[in-house]
Amino acid sequence: MKVLVIGNGAREHALAWKLAGSTRVDSIFVAPGNAGTSAIAQNLDIASSDIFAVVQKSVELKIDLAIIGPEAPLAAGIVNRFQEKGLKAFGPSQEAARLESSKVFARNLMQKHSIPCAAGRSFTDYMEALRYLQSQPAPIVIKADGLAAGKGVTVANTIQEAQEALKYMMKDRVFGTAGDRVIIEEYLSGKEVSLLAFTDGKTAVPMVPACDYKRAYDNDRGPNTGGMGSYSPPGFFDTKMIEHILKTIIQPVVKAMSDAGNPYCGVLYTGLIITDQGPKVLEFNARFGDPETQVILPRLKSDLSDIMLATVTGRLDQVQIEWSNDACVGVVMASGGYPDKYRTGLPITISPGLSEDINIFYAGAKKGADGQIFTDGGRVLTMTATGHTIKEARQKVYSNINFVSFDNCHYRKDIAEREVI
């Protein structure tokens, strides 16, 4: 079987790595890929945003299954284009992907079907939103409606900070049309967790849970990022809680989408917070998370290509999915200055002594003509390790992290720390 992974992040490297272990998969292509995917697959010099070129190349290569990593192509309807050509694509249609591409759409669906989420309102008029904001207590949350590369949510500790975020989105239009509508909602307190599920539009099968770290610096300080690290499983989130969320949130969403004529197929990512009143939804994503994927896939014992084919063909109820009991911890190594300005083109050095059981999933990294790997983005790579416990996996990562270096490298030193203290 020929597979194509679309995207160039550490998530896509992890997907290609897992698919490379499948006896069903004969060849892997990645568009556009990165320095890491080039070692296990054939990179195609096609941007993930160039839907026409990606689909045409897939027809030419006779791709059996395309797997879409990033959210933007899903929101732009790449799965629809694949289906029009009679090709299999793992991911939701443009209509179903609105669960991520429009926070207002997701919020309306949750309210209609009594799915627990934060109280709040959506706005298209800046002055109306500002007046509403001035009547609310802090802390408070401001969300851009559309896609904003994981940076469209501000948790404001003061109303002044919230006003600045509102202006940033609606007046300054930093996120473009994504900020034409905003949601202002109550701040929820509790522990956050990500629960991803495979779904073929009828059946939903949860993956192992994971926790990620959005803030740039230790102790959850600094600006939001695309994610600075993750771990699985969280000790506070047991099988009973997974079953509860599957029954009260994930399955109702899948049924609602199907009943509305937009069946949801692929991965449904549910970002949750466990409050005193129970679990509530913070967000939905229409694809594998990053950096969660990098700690979830190493725990998957089943063949990923089998699961994906069953999902695309509506046979997910016929597949048994097995997971390792091991824990996994991943730490993102980022360019200094990220998520703001940062330099690229810096050589990445891997020193002798790096443990063989460490996985490095590259993201913002490119390979030079001489084979040297250079930085090429904000999040450069994710280093992961597994162990019998979170403590063991965490110790492996941090004892090996200094074997990988590049100038002005930055990473958090507290990933999964709360699980071992």
Provide the CATH number for the domain around residue 412: 3.90.600.10
Confidence of residue 149 (pLDDT cuts 50, 70, 90): confident
Q: Give me the number of domains the chain comprises.
A: 4
Tell me, yes or no, whether 333 and 277 share the same domain. Answer: no
Percent of the chain with pLDDT over 70: 100
Q: Examine the pLDDT at 17 and tell me if it is beyond 90.
A: yes
98 occurs within a structural domain: no
Q: Mean pLDDT throughout 241-252?
A: 97
* Domain edge (last residue) among 49, 73, 91: 91
Tokens of 253: 């969403």
Average pLDDT over residues 221-242: 95
Contact 41, 29 (CB under 8 A): yes
Asked if the model's pLDDT at residue 150 lies above 80, the reply is no
Question: Residue 316 — φ and ψ, nearest 5°?
Answer: -65, -30
**Does one domain contain both 40 and 56?**
yes
β-strands 2-7, 27-32: how paired?
Answer: parallel
Average pLDDT, the chain: 96
Q: Region 151-167: what's the mean pLDDT?
A: 92
Please check whether residue 166 lies inside any domain of the structure: yes
Same domain (yes/no): 305, 256:
yes
Q: Are residues 149 and 243 in the same domain?
A: no
pLDDT at 398 (0 to 100) = 98
| Reported confidence tier of residue 5, pLDDT bands at 50, 70, 90 | very high
Which CA distances in Å does 183 have to 105, 230, 416?
11, 27, 31
How many whole angstroms separate alpha carbon 153 and alpha carbon 158?
15
* 288, 180: one domain: no
Q: What is the reported pLDDT for 163?
A: 94
Q: What is the pLDDT of residues 54-106, one digit of tens each?
A: 999 999 999 999 999 999 999 999 999 999 999 999 999 999 999 999 999 99
Return the closest-CA partner of residue 226 out of 377, 18, 103: 377
pLDDT of residue 215: 93
Parent domain of 393:
327-419
pTM: 0.95
pLDDT in tens, 278-315: 999 999 999 999 999 999 999 999 999 999 999 999 99
